[in-house]
Amino acid sequence: MTEELLRTPLYQEHLALDARIVPFAGWEMPVQYAGIIEEHKAVRSAVGIFDVCHMAEFRFFGFDAFDALQSIVTNDLHKIDELGSALYTVMCDEDGGIIDDLIVYHTGDLEYLIIANAANRQTDWDWITSHLPEGVEAVDESDRTGLIAVQGPRALEVIASLAGEGFVPPARFHIAEARLENIPVLLARTGYTGEDGVEIVCHVDHAVAVWRLLLSFAEVTPCGLGARDTLRLEMGYPLYGSDMDRGVDPVSAGLGWVVPKAKTGYIGADAVARVRDAGPARKLVGLQVSEGVPRHEYPVLHEGTEVGKVAGGTYSPTLGHGIATAYVPAELSAPGTELRIAIRRKEVAATVVRPPFVKQTSLSAPSS
């Protein structure tokens, strides 16, 4: 691909912070600043901020918007009837193949905001708009939308001091308008790290100002895609293109919980129901390894035979050892099953576990 790489409005900020820049999903993005482990630990213990302006934002409006989107996504949009609530979901093709994973926000009367993966922007847009009836207004707002994730046990403190007196944060999986030092934003209480926090949706022209406001706090650490990946893997949050793609259905991908059994009539419903009835042949599982770092595409073995490949793998900075996800035959997917991963010249023990790999975060209930 010789296509020119895109830059977010924060590109110059990253250079000024001495970030290491890598190509990602068609964008030039920071993979790390001070170091992945340091950034990872900052998010688990204080606050980290992430430039996620590359992600796609679509808005939908109209009396028929609800029904149209309800027939496209697998999860039940009635769960977000309440204005300001949000829902994680996937959307599938007729064969049940996952086109993308999304968060749908009920942002206004008859109005929805969808945030989708950067790499799927065009695919998603084409798919959704080709299934919209006339009369539902759709706008691709990605180029005009800035998105900055603020994540960590102290994230809300930082937001509260910027939002001023009387600020009440939106509840978990809710979105609300706010002003950060007079900059109008939407605060979404969502994230991809397993920590409490928000994702700030703002006009692209305000992204630099918001970024700098956040960095003016000593407890805030800029974090790159490297830490974003280790944080999401520790929580077992799937990544499109690695843990799922068009070739896999949500039930096999461990996302049955975003496909309510009672819901029918959405695209792919029949195919998903068939997988559910028959039981998936292969399932995405978590693997905890004894040594080394499992990485994408490394073979997963059972009694000397290859039974799958690593989907996502990394070193877990919190646990201090390797973790991975992989598709394995359903009969080998029960927690406790002993498998092996070929890490180049070595074969290491890998135990099937139920994610999250890291149980205690600022989002989980306090330990007793």
Partner 1 sequence: MYPKDLKYDKEHEWVKVDGDVAIIGISDFAQDQLGEVVYVDLPSVGDEVAAGESFGEIESVKSVSELFSPLTGEIVEVNDALGDAPETVNEDAYGDGWMLKIKMADAAEVDELMSAEEYEAFIAEEA
Q: Which of 7, 26, 35, 204 binds partner 1 (CB under 8 A)?
A: 35
| CA dist., res. 366 & res. 194, Å (int) | 14
> Per CB under 8 A, does 37 bind partner 1?
yes
* φ, ψ (nearest 5 deg) of residue 195: -100, 165
Q: Which of 75, 107, 230, 318 binds partner 1 (CB under 8 A)?
A: 230
Answer positive or negative: Cα dihedral of 352, 357, 360, 361.
negative
> Per CB under 8 A, does 36 bind partner 1?
yes
| Span interacting with partner 1, options 35-43, 139-147, 189-197, 269-277, rule CB under 8 A | 35-43
| Span interacting with partner 1, options 46-54, 142-150, 313-321, 354-362, rule CB under 8 A | 313-321
Amino acid letter, 20? R
CA-closest candidate to residue 149, choices 189, 181, 179, 120:
189
> Per CB under 8 A, does 31 bind partner 1?
yes
Shortest reach from residue 20's CB to partner 1, in Å: 8
> Per CB under 8 A, does 315 bind partner 1?
yes
Answer positive or negative: Cα dihedral of 19, 24, 28, 29.
negative
Shortest reach from residue 42's CB to partner 1, in Å: 13
Q: Which of 317, 326, 358, 362 binds partner 1 (CB under 8 A)?
A: 317
> Per CB under 8 A, does 292 bind partner 1?
yes
Residues 6 or more apart in contact with residue 11 via CB below 8 angstroms: 28
Shortest reach from residue 315's CB to partner 1, in Å: 5
What are the tokens at 191? 């994230």
Q: Which of 8, 32, 75, 117 binds partner 1 (CB under 8 A)?
A: 32
**Taking CB under 8 A as the rule, which mask of x and - marks residues 245-284 in contact with partner 1?**
----------------------------------------
Shortest reach from residue 30's CB to partner 1, in Å: 13
What are the tokens at 106? 């009920």
Site for partner 1 in 38-67 (CB under 8 A): 38
Strand partners, 296: none
What pairing do the DSSP bridges indicate for beta strands 47-51 and 145-151?
Answer: antiparallel
How many residues of this chain interact with partner 1, rule: CB under 8 A?
Answer: 16
What are the tokens at 80? 């977000």
| CA dist., res. 277 & res. 271, Å (int) | 10
| CA dist., res. 230 & res. 227, Å (int) | 5
Q: Tell me 346's DSSP state.
A: E
Looking at the Cβ atoms of 261 and 344, the one nearer to partner 1 is 344
Q: Does residue 120 sit in helix, strand or coil?
A: helix
Shortest reach from residue 366's CB to partner 1, in Å: 29
Shortest reach from residue 293's CB to partner 1, in Å: 6
Q: Tell me 337's DSSP state.
A: -
| CA dist., res. 35 & res. 269, Å (int) | 43
CA-closest candidate to residue 9, choices 251, 203, 231:
203
> Per CB under 8 A, does 295 bind partner 1?
yes
Q: Which of 75, 89, 107, 314 binds partner 1 (CB under 8 A)?
A: 314
Shortest reach from residue 297's CB to partner 1, in Å: 13
Task: With residue 214 as reference, give the H or E element that holds it.
Answer: helix 207-215
Looking at the Cβ atoms of 274 and 346, the one nearer to partner 1 is 346
Site for partner 1 in 191-220 (CB under 8 A): none
* φ, ψ (nearest 5 deg) of residue 354: -95, 115
What are the tokens at 59? 């808005």
Q: Which of 182, 218, 344, 365 binds partner 1 (CB under 8 A)?
A: 344
In Å, the largest CA–CA distance within the chain is 62
Shortest reach from residue 101's CB to partner 1, in Å: 23
Looking at the Cβ atoms of 117 and 230, the one nearer to partner 1 is 230
What are the tokens at 333? 């997917």
Shortest reach from residue 10's CB to partner 1, in Å: 21
Q: Which residues bind partner 1 (CB under 8 A)?
A: 31-32, 35-38, 226, 230, 291-293, 295, 314-315, 317, 344
